[in-house]
Amino acid sequence: MPSPRRTRLTPDQRRAQLLLLGRDLLGTRTLDELSIDDLAEKAGISRGLMFHYFKSKQGFHRAVVEAACEDFLARTAPDPALEPLARLHAVLGAFVDYVLDHRATYVSLVRGAASADETVRDLVEGARRTQADRVTAGCVELGLADTPLLRTAARAWVVFAEESVVAWQQPDSDRAGLAEFLERTLVAVLGCVDEGAHVLGGGG
């Protein structure tokens, strides 16, 4: 009986496969430790083919960070079908779930903000800006004024939330407790910006 024919990947499919493997490896090592050789071995391809797709180690790192940021933002995106408060609860829950399910990868991303590679720093900062913009948009929808102070507070809270979830030492089973803590801190920060922020606490 003839052996089944091996499916040949298109260039786009191969690149997507390599990025997925790179994201998986990012969960076991820092960005600086992520090597072309390791990925080539994992994928069963030559080192030269890796350079064909990514040009350099730096290009590989940038592509992996970009893919990881896109995945994070997609999984934590607000659902426009939900009411504003329910949307906030869902986003915070998704954020906690993502970080606790991909802690090592997320830590590598957060620490990537200090990377010597400007493109990597910009990608991580871009993800933070998107999260801060989402917080700002949700607050405006709930009646808060869109001011520079609100945007500053949203940005600062996003960084605080990053560090809080990364540093979380309680059992993963208490994810709801962590999400509720983040919501209380957000309400407290926004209360310093606009007294009307108390409406955010209406959902408990």
The pLDDT tens digits of the residues spanning 59-107 come to 888 888 898 899 999 999 999 999 988 998 899 999 999 988 888 888 8
For 12-23, give the DSSP string. Answer: HHHHHHHHHHHH
Beta strands in 69-187 (DSSP E): none
Report which of residues 92 and 196 the model is more confident about.
92
CA pseudo-torsion sign 62, 63, 64, 65: positive
pLDDT at 6: 47
pLDDT at 100: 86
Mean pLDDT, rounded, of the chain: 83
Give me the mean pLDDT over the 176-193 stretch: 91
CA pseudo-torsion sign 104, 188, 135, 79: positive
Encode 49-83: b = buried (16+ Cβ within 10 Å), e = exposed: ebeebbeebebbbbbbbbbbbebbeeebebeeeee
The lowest-confidence range among 23-27, 72-76, 174-178, 198-202 is 198-202
pLDDT at 199: 52
Share of the chain above pLDDT 70, in %: 88
pLDDT at 118 over 80: yes
CA pseudo-torsion sign 195, 200, 139, 91: positive
